[in-house]
Amino acid sequence: MTYVIVLLVLFIVVFVITAPLRRGTDDAPGSDSGGVPDPSPELLELEAARDAKYREIRDAELDHQTGKLSDEDYQAVDSTLRAEAIEILRRLDSLTGRRS
């Protein structure tokens, strides 16, 4: 009985592990991705940078609302952050525009 269970487990393990090898080629979208092309590393990096920049803008907003930044400082910081965010969004748009 033990040997039967071991063989069964072995079969399941081999079946699971070799599924991608039996399915796809190296150029195909990842077999674990549902056939959808994976985003490029550059796109992911820009998206991470965009999210971080949004967080910074939100933090600056909250800092201003809670009195950590004066009106003048907030305007200066906010302008800088928005300019940086715009640059990231432009690069994202050009990347996604090129892909489409």
Partner 1 sequence: MALLGHTLLLLALAITLYGIGASVYGARARRRDWVDSGRRAVYALAGVTMTAFVLVEIAFQRNDFAFNIVTQTSSTTLSTFYKLTAPWSSQAGSLLLWVMLLSFWSSLVLFLTRRRLREIAPYATAVLMGFAAFFDSLACFAANPFATSSPAPTQGAGLDPLLQHPTMMFHPPMLYSGYTLMAIPFAFAIGALISGRLGSDWIRDTRRFALAAWLFLGTGIVLGALWSYTELGWGGYWGWDAVENAALMPFLCITAFIHSIQIQEKRGMLKVWNVSLILLSGTLAIFGTFLVRSGVLDSIHAFGASTLGVPFVCLLGVMILGSIGLVLYRRPALRAENRIDSLVSREAVFLFQNLVLVAMVFVIFWVTMFPLISEAVTGTKVSVGPPAFTPFVVPLALVLVALAGIGPIISWRRVTAANLRRNFTFPVASAAVVLILVLALAHASSKPLAIAMWTLGSFVIATVLQEFYRGTSARRAMTKDAWPVALGGLVRRNRRRHGGYLVHLGISVLLIGVAASSSFQHSHDVVLKPGQSTTVDGYRFAYVRPTEAALAAKISFGAVLRVTKGRSYVTTLHTTRGYYPSTDNSTGVIGRFFAGAADSTVGLDAGLTRNLWAVTSVNPTPLSGYINQGDKYFADYLTAIMPKLSKLPHAEQNLVLDRYYAYRDEAVAGIARRFLTHTWPVEFLIIVAPLVTWIWGGALVVVIGGLIALWPVPVLARWRSAAVYRARLARELA
Residues at the site binding partner 1, with contacts judged by CB under 8 A: 2, 5-6, 9-10, 12-13, 16-21, 23-33, 36, 38-39, 41, 44-45, 47-52, 54-60, 62-63, 65-70, 73, 77, 82-83, 85-86, 89-90
User: What residue type is assigned to position 53 of the chain?
Assistant: K
| Least gap, CB of 4 to partner 1 (angstroms) | 10
| Least gap, CB of 86 to partner 1 (angstroms) | 5
Per-residue CA distances from 35 to 5, 19, 24 (Å): 33, 14, 10
| Least gap, CB of 44 to partner 1 (angstroms) | 5
CB nearer partner 1, residue 70 or residue 96: 70
- Give the orientation angle of helix 71-99 with respect to helix 41-65, to 10 degrees: 160
CB nearer partner 1, residue 2 or residue 100: 2
Which uninterrupted H or E stretch holds 95?
helix 71-99
Tokens 């690069």 -> residue: 91
Give the closest residue to 32 by CA, choosing from 41, 21, 43, 42. 21
| Least gap, CB of 8 to partner 1 (angstroms) | 11
